[in-house]
Chains A and B, each alone.
Chain A
């Protein structure tokens, strides 16, 4: 298995399309950083407009590395599924398209092994992509904008809320958030891999993955009680942004944030569990279907 995984990673590393995702992330992060360096105060004024009378905070201090990373993640983690799909959706369909699938299957490796290795490789790619995001959006932002206490803007029902996390209480939250995002994006990788089994070129599964993510995201954002109760809890898109939960710090009875706390641990645990369940079902379905599939490409 390890030998196969090494081969798979070698193949991914040699494909130019692999680096498109890394380049895209770097470009978006750089544009954000440049824009905030040039005119971050306007953005901050806009954000603090509604709460300026009730919240005391130096606006210059608010734009720091931690805050920048949060803003970037808020935007990027919605688009990254497409980048993950670029590689994962190519797993089987790409081999079928190149004609190498029949050669792979005629080797003394089982189809189960092949699917598991493809999934593992897609997961590693996802981890590397998030690691790159962490480097560019967090570490580079810390270097460019410095480090300070972190402001979080949160919509809670009809109200807007601002939370303040002290700078010595932030890094672990980012580590946890990136770990959560890895699990969330691995669902996308598993979905792409599953769709990849049915196609003989990678365009179809990439488009199908993106369409599913878009449709499910729209459904996840529809506020209708019947959907809230019967549909949303089962959609993986309802949990893709669950990483934000690590930044929703708990407060005491006087409204003062409690250092090292998270408002709703059970919700985070439940989200993670549902995402892991999606991964398990999608990978198992991929194995079962692929084992029975006639390779005619």
Chain B
């Protein structure tokens, strides 16, 4: 399984606002990767940097194991995206919109290919209609068709269910699952709803105020038995290096503080191992479950000190 996206210490500063702060994460081939955070957390800015719409202030983005800054065109040929709203040319038909963006992606298009794509999103019968006559759900589906028309290996969807009715949300969910399960695509999907990510993603990251809070497998992160264990030592950096050499590495969270997402039952064993490695412990604390934690982020914006009980 190869790495599709590798983001290292990414940051973006807008004048006096740090929108993304030292963010690192990886998306593997075949993942449906949830990008979770409340509004203004930095999700859209990160996605815009992944698509080279916004230049990073620092850090590095590698997609398909190539640097985005030096292989932009080559990378974007294999990426499809819906960024926020699926805004298209309202004065053109669905078919014309699809045709334009397919040609821009460097695809040799045929009418058959375009109609097949429109059929996939249920718009074949409205192919000749102007986009200005479409509902939000139809525009969203056309946006998906535009993102998929050149058969990309990576699909980036920024809040794709925004403005959709319950049926539209369910359809979108099924479409994303199909893309992953049947077509083997890698999908990065952003949302501010944990419940949405929970249903479709296999891995996820939560960001808050531009910083990574937690990253891991959805099943593990949402397991009520799992807690976020925060450790304080005399030298956290040295302790982190020692933990990386052990079985606890897979639970280690890649942020500045020393935190592990793990089963609470295993904490005594962890402490024993740390003591055996001569790590000088000052404190070990257990936080809320992920669900409660995320709820605290989304209901008390600005007042949360994540995982610091």
Contacts and interface: CB of A to CB of B under 8 A. Distances in A.
Contact of B106 (A15, A106, A108, A295): A108
B83 A7 contact: no
Contact of B105 (A14, A16, A108, A292): A108
B219 interface: no
A108 B52 CA distance: 10
Interface string A7-37: 1001100111000000000000000000000
Contacts of B77: 108
Interface in B82-121: 83-85, 87-92, 96, 100-101, 103-106
B100 A7 contact: yes
Contacts of A292: 55
B237 interface: no
Contacts, number: 78
Contacts of A4: 104
Contact of A105 (B52, B87, B89): B52
B79 interface: yes
Contacts of A107: 76, 101, 104-105
Interface residues of B, number: 32
A281 interface: no
Chain A interface size, under 10 / 10 to 19 / 20 to 34 / 35 or more: 20 to 34
A78 B117 CA distance: 48
B73 interface: yes
Contacts of B53: 102, 105-106, 294-296
B104 to A, nearest CB: 4
B91 A295 contact: no
Nearest to B106: A108
Contacts of A10: 96, 100
Chain A contact residues: over half helix, strand or loop, or mixed? loop
Which of A7, A102, A294 counts the most chain B CB atoms within 10 A? A102
B61 interface: no
A3 B108 CA distance: 11
B18 to A, nearest CB: 14
Contacts of A102: 48, 51, 53, 83-84, 87
Interface in A248-284: none
Interface of A: 3-4, 7, 10-11, 14-16, 98-100, 102-110, 292, 294-296
The 4 closest A-B pairs by CB, nearest first: A99-B87, A295-B53, A106-B51, A108-B73
28 contacts: A7-B100, A7-B103, A11-B89, A11-B92, A11-B100, A14-B92, A15-B91, A16-B91, A98-B89, A98-B90, A100-B87, A102-B51, A102-B53, A103-B83, A104-B104, A105-B52, A105-B53, A106-B51, A106-B52, A106-B53, A106-B76, A107-B101, A107-B104, A108-B73, A108-B74, A108-B75, A294-B55, A295-B53
